[in-house]
Amino acid sequence: MIFDAAQLAEIERAIQTKDEEFFLSRLDKSRRKPKKRRFNSALMVSAHRARHLNKLDEFPADAAILNLEDGVAPEIKRIALLALCYFLQNLPQEVPLLVVRVNPLEEGGAEEIALLNRFAPDAIRVPKVRSMADIQKARTLIDPSIALHASCETKEALSDIASIVHAGAEVLYLGILDLLADLALPQSLLKLGNPTIDYILAKFLIDTRSAGAEAVSFVYQDYKDLTGFMDWCEHEKEMGYEAKACISPDQAKIASRIFKHFDFEKARYIKERFEAMAAQGITGFSDEKYGFIDEPIYKDALRVLEKGEE
């Protein structure tokens, strides 16, 4: 818990009554040190939900998406921003990766970023991106020490991921429902095994990773259907995904378990076996346990072992 019960009650009262002075009088110029960290689960938290923000030090996910956009009514966006800054100011350093999802730049996002720069979240996520120019503008607004993340939820973004990444986006999140709407495709397509959805997932992943950024799969809206969520996680992991957006603690726990599971024993064996043979000048050979081992197999084992060090 970040604040005790009495302090939390004060914060909740200030949010409910839109008491901006409560927060403004308590905000200073102290800054956290932004960190960079790969993650497997990213759990959404609305910035006006003080009780949820108060549990960031015991969070069930690797990353917290602190949301100022969808789900926060226009009339409380300002007080939600101030409350969020107050929590950022008082958080310990060792909490999950903190990513603030601002509003579109032309709809208040630019002003939100100007204040957030003082309190140094680990990343700022820009929604409704359509072009490289959107990222370039965001990068000029965001403090250089803070990472830039972006939502891919328009047809223009999906068709030009490389430019968006090269302009400065380090992580992209697939906003599948907004994307389907922008493509004039029905949400009924969103089913396991649907070829159109698999194409979108594959294109988003390959284009994002090819450009050098991390890809986060979409939110599964039916938070009560944990079996369905688990099936999607398993499917996406088989495709090559390593992270998924979540909207409930139970989803986050499942995503973390599935996407963090790697066969480290096999990877260690391949590394040791390959290096022993390479010392003899042999870099391709048959192995009784794992068939043919060569340099690409060795490099994949190293990639897996790196996951255990993060």
Structural domain boundaries in the chain: 5-259, 264-309
The reported pLDDT for the residue numbered 169 is: 97
Q: How far apart are CA 127 and CA 154, in angstroms?
A: 10
pLDDT score recorded for residue 164: 97
Strand-pairing partners, residue 63, are: 42, 97
What backbone phi and psi angles, to 5 degrees, belong to 265?
Answer: -60, -45
What was the pLDDT predicted at 308?
62
pTM of the model: 0.85
pLDDT of the residue at 265: 83
**Residue 180 to residue 258: CA distance in whole angstroms:** 26
CA atoms within 13 A on the CB side of 298: 16
Q: Check residue 261 and give its pLDDT.
A: 63
pLDDT of residue 301: 86
- The pLDDT of residue 201 is 98
CA distance 110 to 107: 8
Q: Which fold has domain 5-259?
A: TIM Barrel (3.20.20)
How high is the pLDDT of residue 94? 80
Residues of the chain with pLDDT under 70: 30, 261-262, 308-310
Burial of 205 (0-12, 13-18, 19+ CB in 10 A): buried
How many residues can be counted in the chain?
A: 310
Predicted local distance difference test score (pLDDT) of residue 92:
83
